[in-house]
Amino acid sequence: MKHELVVVLDFGGQYNQLIARRVRECNVYCEVHPYTMPLAEIQAKAPIGIIFTGGPNSVYEENAPSIEKEIFSLGIPVLGICYGAQVMAQSLGGVVRTADAAAAREYGKTPTQYSQNSKLFAGLPETGVSWMSHGDYIETPPDGFRVTAKTIACPVAAMEHAEKRLYALQYPPEVNHTEHGISMLRNFLYQVCSAKGDWTMGDYCRDTIQAVREKVGSGKVLLALSGGVDSSVVAALLKRAIGKQLTCIFVDHGLMRKDEGAEVDAVFAGGEIHFVHVDAEARFLQKLAGVTDPERKRKIIGEEFIRVFEEEAKKIGAVDFLAQGTIYPDVIESGLGAAAVIKSHHNVGGLPDFVDFKEIIEPLRLLFKDEVRQLGRELELPEYLVMRQPFPGPGLAIRIIGEITKEKLDILRDADAIFREEIANEGLSSSISQYFAVLTDMRSVGVMGDGRTYDYTLALRGVTTTDFMTADWARIPYDVLDKISVRIVNEVRCINRIVYDITSKPPATIEWE
């Protein structure tokens, strides 16, 4: 099925993925491409609308990112956001200026007045709060445009040429800080672009299953199943599509969270697919013995995983396809010009060279993480798998500071399980993006009963984020932290002190190692 498409042209904005997610939340499919995408390619995709993102540049500077003026004559609706609005203004003869101290330099939540006779603001109040962040501003709109929103300091907070279906906003409607921002995007999609809203996860699920069946035919597919959300959803989808032609190899390196191995077995073992659970704890711990440097831990675990995967794959014999859980942020970060250096997406790079695959199957490559979770529900995966917390490939090895031992792993597993259980009990799971426990290598004196203890300090970490590129520490209520602390100290041996990490990213990272 061919879906309606909106093309998002990226000018280097920090919210490019968020714009795409918001559009899809409105049930309209969209793709993110660099602003340098040729007009012929854009036209060939037959989009119902085009959105320009923000960006860090000034449109009047030499070599600033720009767009071919002809894009505004294609008859396709265009919405320019922030820098994208200024690109539209400059390209069509408007005037963009640098804001001086007395002019239109704005940052933060800003009261804004909206025009009531604009399709973009249909059904919205006359005033609202927009999230401004700009040092340049549109001083004069191009000929034929009218101003449809303004603030005390910004004369053109929004403008439009309704006849040509060209719209511009000086602020990002996609962020939560902008009141009614999602309604503005929805109005652009449905009132201006005449979208029907044909992007649903049920349709995507059915279409993808059929596409996999046609591609694979009678061939065999191999999947490295980690137990994380992405690989679990891929496994469930392929199971639905090709059944016994799929082999899933689950390498249990002994560094999983409490009961995770059993949970993966419960979902995938004994079903239609060939499921291989490899208990490799002993060999991983042997390789990690005495190692304290986090980078060495990562390299040892990665290499040993490859060795185990190689051994098991050889037992299977000829395999036609390799499946992997590539998701859309990986594609974006790997393919948008300079953004490619942010994250080198190459999931196949760590897999054995000896397997001669006919093709790679990536059924999630068009989806964001929240959409992957929706697909998991469509496939009737249990909620504990669908909502599983992000978990690093090296597992608990990088949540234990210092040497890895079986004893430390068991201590951390029990403490982390209590932390996650209490967060769930308090109904906070959906409001905290990631939360976990870290076993430090610090010991301190404590008192339990009438005796002296000298045991480990456990750190708790919780963050809120939209993209995991930056993150703020989660404000977990004190009474909840107190309950967690009391339970861990009383129920988990060798821990006598609990600390909570209140550092954001940056300067810290989300994980400790």
pLDDT for res 346: 35
pLDDT at 147 over 80: yes
Q: Residue 283 domain-assigned? A: yes
Q: Are residues 39 and 102 in the same domain?
A: yes
Domain assignment present for 397: no
* Residue range 156-193, pLDDT digits in tens: 999 999 999 999 999 999 887 888 999 999 999 999 99
Query: 50 and 88, same structural domain?
Result: yes
- How confident is the prediction for the chain on average, in pLDDT? 87
Is residue 399 one of the residues assigned to a domain? no
CATH (domain of 494): 3.30.300.10
pLDDT at 113: 93
Q: What pLDDT score was predicted for residue 467? A: 59
- Strongest mean pLDDT among 319-333, 449-463, 486-500: 486-500
Q: Would you place residue 101 in the very low, low, confident or very high pLDDT band (cuts 50, 70, 90)? A: low
The reply to whether 162 and 262 lie within a common domain is no
233 and 334 in a common domain: yes
Would residue 85 count as lying in a domain? yes
Instruction: Quote the CA–CA distance of 309 and 347 in Å, as a whole number.
Output: 14
In a domain, 505, yes or no: no
Burial 438-464 (b: 16+ CB within 10 A, else e): bbbeeeeeeeeeeeebebbbbbbbbbe
Same structural domain for residues 216 and 247?
yes
Largest CA-CA distance found in the chain, in angstroms, rounded: 83
Mean pLDDT lowest for which of 105-109, 196-200, 463-467?
105-109
- Give tens-digit pLDDT for 247-284: 998 999 999 999 988 888 888 887 778 889 999 999 99
Domain boundary among 351, 386, 421: 386
- Number of structural domains in the chain: 3
* 512 in a structural domain: no
- Say yes or no: 184 and 226 in one domain: no
CATH number for position 117: 3.40.50.880
User: Does some domain include residue 338?
Assistant: yes
pLDDT at position 337? 44
Residue pLDDT, tens place only, 396-434: 999 999 999 999 999 999 999 999 999 999 999 989 999
Tell me, yes or no, whether 154 and 38 share the same domain: yes
- 247: Cβ–Cβ under 8 A, 6 or more apart, which residues? 220, 221, 222, 223, 273, 274, 275, 276, 316, 319
Share of the chain above pLDDT 70, in %: 92
Residue type (1 letter), 78:
V
Q: Are residues 208 and 344 in the same domain?
A: yes
Mean pLDDT for 292-309 is 87
- On whether both 168 and 212 belong to a single domain, the answer is no
Average pLDDT over residues 298-305: 87
At 342 the pLDDT is 28
Beta bridge partners of 246: 221
Whether residue 378 sits in one domain with residue 295: yes
The confidence score (pLDDT) of residue 12 equals 87
- Where does the pLDDT of residue 133 fall: very low under 50, low under 70, confident under 90, or very high at 90 and above? confident
Say whether both 212 and 358 belong to one domain.
yes
Strand order in the sheet with 359-361: 274-279, 246-252, 221-224, 321-323, 359-361
Q: Are residues 165 and 206 in the same domain?
A: no
**What pLDDT is recorded for position 343?**
28
pLDDT at 66: 92
* pLDDT at res. 314: 79
Residue 159 inside a domain? The answer is yes
Mean pLDDT, residues 75-101? 90
In the predicted model, is pLDDT for residue 486 greater than 50?
Answer: yes
pLDDT in tens, 104-122: 456 778 899 999 899 999 9
Q: Please give the structure tokens belonging to residue 214.
A: 């046609």
Question: Which one has a higher pLDDT value, 465 or 478?
Answer: 478
User: How many Cβ atoms are within 10 Å of 312's Cβ, its own excluded?
Assistant: 19
Which pLDDT does position 288 carry in this prediction? 95
User: Structural domain of residue 126, as residue ranges?
Assistant: 5-192
Q: Last residue of a domain, which of 359, 386, 413?
A: 386
The model's pLDDT over 349-377, given as tens digits with 9 standing for 90+, comes to 344 444 456 788 889 988 888 889 999 99
